[in-house]
Structures are given as structure tokens and as C-alpha cells.
Structure 1
Amino acid sequence: MTPVFAAIEPYATGMLPAAHGAELYWECSGHPGGAAALFLHGGPGAPMSGGYRRQFDPHRWRIVYLDQRGCGRSRPLAHQVLGSLATNTTDQQIDDLELLREHLGIERWLLVGGSWGVTLALAYAQRHPDRVTGLALAAITDGAREHLEWITQDMRRVFPREWDEFAAAAGRRPGQRVLDAYLERITDPDPTVRVAAAQAWCAWEDVHVSLAPGWTPSTRYPDPEFRAQFATLVIHYWANDCFLPPDGIRSGMPAIATIPGVLIHGRFDVSGPLSVAWDLHRAWPASRLVVLDDSGHGGPSMRESLAAAIAELGEAGATR
């Protein structure tokens, strides 16, 4: 990640026992007595190394992070224990976050997230608005069915050759959604079927974020373990509408109307159209929208803008 603050290491880590036999890896870094901020990674199923910490002033923030259920250092891993998918839902992840907050003795915290982490942060805030001081969000997603189908179906209008390859690898039946076909393949009893599905899925993931200036293929997808973990959880969530209403988190926006937030989005993010961020901003009176003309679904200026939003919301939270 682009350096903003100096690299730091956690001062505390742990494995938190959670519902349905899960154990959640968590870590805290920065200032133990500082204002609390929770960083939510993307995916689902794309845990991060310590680079996320460099977007926070370590002298000001108590930075909390966890590998979300089913991925990273949390256990069990979804792609290794497919039966665990039955209890891996957005509601359960919200409960996991509350469990962690209580375990760490945090009263309220700033929520920071990117991509899927945006949807999860908004879903949590709508459920527990009294626990949230603000939201700093980048690469905006809302979990709506129409936007999941845009990525997996309608994006053929932008990348026809690549989408045809993606759809062919799904082995779908006549009339079957590509997404549903991939769910069958990524949970198939035959591991060779799952491996092929994960590889094809991640190849498509690289395609639909490729319009940004300076784009290069992801360095994570060549790792077969990452591919399996990531594809299993993304497909599971997307095929189930992210376990949200058809409009995702949009109908719940009145619950956070007065909570300050910053929405950061790249103009080249074709997989998450700018209209997603715009519509959420219009439905959220206390939000500010930042549109980056040099970014797609990430990038250096997005990371710098997120660090600035964290600082801004820290000042706002101190006066609330």
C-alpha cells in the first residue's frame, strides 16, 4: 500500500471463539488508549497484511482488525470446510463484530472499509448506529442484486470476449445464471472442479477492474490457496445476494442519516459504477462524496484519500 504513516506492528493479537465453532483472528495496533477504529477488509474472503495500518496516525488511533469469518488466520477456512458456509452470513459477521467490540471493551468506533468492507460496514452501522462514530469508505459497494448481476452478467457489454470465457468455464445449464453455476462448481465434492472454478473466477475478477490507469494483474491470484478461499466466499455471498434484501443496504440508510461519513470512489471503477456511490451519498445527508479521476477499484490516490478521511472523521468524532 502507498505509505502514509510509518509501518507498525500489532501490540496485541488473539483468537476469539465465536458462534458455530469459529475462531476469529484479531489484532490491535497503534495507541492502546486512542480512539478506536475498525478496519474491514474486502472480498468477502480477501484478508490483508499490515499495510492497512499505514492509513492511520498510530499516535491517535487504536486500530482494530480481524480476518473475517472463513478466511485468513481465522478458522475454519471456508474452502477447506465447506459445511461452514451454512453459518457464514452477513448477519453472523455483524454478530462477530459486536462480539469483538465487547471483547476489547470498546464503546464506539470508527468504521473503515473498502469494497465488500463498505457493504459490511454499512450493514453493521445500520444495525448498531449507537456504536459508530463515523464511516470512512472506499471503492463503494452496496450489496444490491442489480450490481452483483452487473458484475457477473451485464459486464459482458464491456468485456465480451473475456465474459464468454468466464461463462463457458461455469458449465452452466440452459437458463442458469453464471453465478449459480459457479456456486455449484466451487462447492463440488470433486476438488479438481473447485480448483478450476476458482481459477476461472479470479481471472474474471482481474478483468473487470482492469480499466484503471496503470492497472496490473493482482499479485494474490497466482496463489492457489488464496484463489480457493477468495472465490469460495465471494461466490457464496454473491449467489445469496450478500444475505441482504434485493436492494442491499440502500433501504437501511435512514438509520445512519446523522452519522458522518466519507465515500471515496474511482471514476474508472466500472465493476462498481460511480452511480452506486452517488446514490448512497444522496440517501445519506451526513456524507461527503470524493470522486477520484485517476482511480478504479483502488489505487494510490484512493489510499491517500482514505487516510485523509480517517483523519477528518477523527476530528469530527472528537467534537460529537
Structure 2
Amino acid sequence: MSKMRNLFPEIEPFDSGKLKVSEIHDIYYEQSGNSDGNPVLYVHGGPGGGTSARDRRYFDPEAYRIILFDQRGAGKSTPPAELRENTTWDLVEDMERLRKHLGIEKWVVFGGSWGSTLSLVYAETYPDHVKALVLRGIFTLTRRELMWFYEDGVNHLFPDLWEEFVALIPQGERGDLVSAYYRRLTSDDDEKRKMAAKAWSKIELATSCLLVDEELLAKAEGDLWTQQFARIETHYFVHGGWFYSDDQILQDVGKIRHIPATIIQGRYDVTCPMEAAWLLHKKWPEADFHVIPDAGHSAKEPGILHQLMEATDKYKDL
């Protein structure tokens, strides 16, 4: 491998605002980089994770018009952690509303983890408006993927963390932990919601890197972010993403096989195991496919970050 690449320097937005997308929701968006550059949309994870200043730095600011947005209920979007009118299809339409609002004909779409899910569904819905896709840590929101993380998979690798995770849930409810957590996260009891949000967030943050990142893990102590993250995630998971079939994303790949794409996957990704990325690769052999041999899930892993930077450079002149 060539010299490992790092993020571009810090940059401030030249524009930011709120877009009203429903009677309930206003979504935050911002633009940075070159206002006349190649438009690229950063799609954050979770669902419910929100964006940060770091997310602007995957893209050459001289070449790209860099657009970030917070999905419904996440980040700076309002109201925070709101579950009403908050589905995958609402988010897909929000992305399309934002594209039209900004006067963009086609853009590059970049997403990791849940961001890869939403990017794929958006592209499969509006393929004519996508120039290229950069996808990392593939998650297709199948029952099999959810069972791995929340029923029988992660517990074999992290029994210590798993013990903490299930401690909040009585034995009789442990047959469906996602639903058990969802009940607590939608409870009228504020303290119960906070405890559940922190426990839910902690196990995901702890397992997202090849080695536990203590700085990242500290996010699990906050009240607002954990409520946004945990409430919205469980809301999406108990509803199966509102997909028409469990494997909708893979079934619809034929709609986007003509779009240039790069798929980047950590070999030891515990959060979103490589099987989903492999199945996507098999359905979409035209896409560049990179397996990082010494990486987990996080975009901060050096090998994953390097390939992300290479991919955004590849598509900057489209």
C-alpha cells in the first residue's frame, strides 16, 4: 500500500441552514469547500448519529462542494430524537428535497454503516441523480444482521460488555432485546429512557473499532446524543427499515450497477460483519471492492480512512 493518507485540514462551512421537511421536522444542512465544485453528500450513520466537523474532511475542499445534513431527529435537526414521521422513506425524500433546494442535478453520495444503507436506498430510488457512491462498513438492515449484533454474535466476542447490555432487561424479555430496549426508550419514565439510551449506545461504540476507543466511548455518557442515537436506531430496527422485503437492498442492486462505486469493508468489523459487504460485492461486481485486513468498523481505522480518501479523490472530477 502507498503512504497512508489522512483527512484534509479543518474547514468551516460557507453556508448552513434548516430545511422544513414536514409539519414536525426541520433538518440541518451545511455546505463547505468549493461552492462551484463537484457536489458530494455525506450521509451519517446510526440512524440517529448526526454529523460533525470531522465529516467535512474526507473531501478535497478545492474540488468538492461538500454537503452535510443531519437526518430527522439527529444532530442539529429538530425536534431532537423525534420518532413521528421518521422512516427510511422520509429520509430518502428529505435527501431529494435537499438536492432540489440546493439546485443540484447530480451528486456523489458518501455513507458508512447506516449511512451506507440510506445511500444505497436513495440511489436505488433516484439513480439518475447519483454520480457515484462511496460506501463503508456495509449494513443492509436484514434480520440476520440484527440477530448477529443484538441476539447471538457479539456476545461471543464481548461477553463482558454483553453482560452490561442485558443487565437492564429482565430474563423474560431477552428473547427480543431490540424490542425490549425500544419499550424502555419510548417509555414515559425519563430516567428509564436515559439508562437504556446509555447502555444501548455503549455497546455499539465499544465494538466499533478494532481496539476499543476510549474517547469515542465517552459519547455514551451524554444524555442528548444517546437519546437521539438509541431511540432512532431501535425505532428503525423494530420496523425493519420499512422495507418491502428483508433483502430489499440486494434485490434492487440492478437499478444502480451502472453507477461508479467503491465499497470499503473492515475484515474484523463486529458492528456490521463483512458478510453483507460480500453479498453486495457479489451482486455488484462492477463496484471497486476493498477489504481492509487489519480494521474493524470505524472510519477512523487507518486502512479504511486511506481507502476512503482514495475513493473521494477518484470521483472528484466527475
Q: Secondary structure at the match of 1:21?
A: coil
Q: Secondary structure at the match of 1:14?
A: strand
For residues 224-243 of structure 1, the aligned pairs below 5 Å read: 224-243=223-242
Q: Which residue in 1 is equivalent to 2:166?
A: 167
Q: Which residue in 1 is equivalent to 2:307?
A: 305
Q: Tell me the distance in 1 between the aligned counterparts of 2:148 and 2:61.
A: 39
Equivalent of 1:64 in 51, 62, 67: 67
* Residue 37 (1) aligns with residue 40 (2): yes
Q: Tell me the distance in 1 between the aligned counterparts of 2:73 and 2:198.
A: 19
Deviation, structure 1 residue 76: 0.8
1:30 and 1:59 in contact (8 A); partners too: yes
Task: Identify which range, 125-134 or 216-225, moves more after superposition.
Answer: 216-225
For residues 242-261 of structure 1, the aligned pairs below 5 Å read: 242-244=241-243, 245-261=245-261
Percent sequence identity over aligned pairs = 37
Task: Identify which range, 166-175 or 182-191, moves more after superposition.
Answer: 166-175
Q: Tell me the distance in 2 between the aligned counterparts of 1:149 and 1:243.
A: 17
Q: Which residue in 1 is equivalent to 2:13?
A: 10
Deviation, structure 1 residue 75: 0.6
Deviation, structure 1 residue 248: 4.5
Deviation, structure 1 residue 295: 1.2
Q: Tell me the distance in 2 between the aligned counterparts of 1:94 and 1:289.
A: 25
Q: Which residue in 2 is equivalent to 1:139?
A: 137
For residues 1-320 of structure 1, the aligned pairs below 5 Å read: 3-78=6-81, 84-155=82-153, 156-171=155-170, 173-174=172-173, 176-209=175-208, 212-213=210-211, 215-216=213-214, 218=216, 219-244=218-243, 245-298=245-298, 299-315=301-317, 318=318
Q: Tell me the distance in 1 between the aligned counterparts of 2:248 and 2:187.
A: 28
1:46 and 1:230 in contact (8 A); partners too: yes
Q: Which residue in 2 is equivalent to 1:81?
A: none
Q: Secondary structure at the match of 1:229?
A: helix
When the two chains are superposed, the root-mean-square deviation of aligned CA atoms in Å is: 1.8
1:140 and 1:276 in contact (8 A); partners too: yes
Deviation, structure 1 residue 168: 3.1
Task: Identify which range, 295-304 or 39-48, moves more after superposition.
Answer: 295-304
Q: Secondary structure at the match of 1:19?
A: coil
2:206 and 2:213 in contact (8 A); partners too: no
Give the TM-score taking structure 2 as reference length.
0.92
* Unaligned segments of structure 2, at least 5 residues: none
Q: Tell me the distance in 2 between the aligned counterparts of 1:37 and 1:281.
A: 23
1:172 and 1:181 in contact (8 A); partners too: no
Deviation, structure 1 residue 309: 0.5
Q: Tell me the distance in 2 between the aligned counterparts of 1:69 and 1:214.
A: 29
2:208 and 2:269 in contact (8 A); partners too: yes
1:3 and 1:54 in contact (8 A); partners too: no
2:29 and 2:70 in contact (8 A); partners too: yes
Deviation, structure 1 residue 174: 4.9
Q: Tell me the distance in 2 between the aligned counterparts of 1:70 and 1:313.
A: 30
Structure 1 segments of 4+ aligned residues over 3 angstroms from their partners? 171-176, 213-217
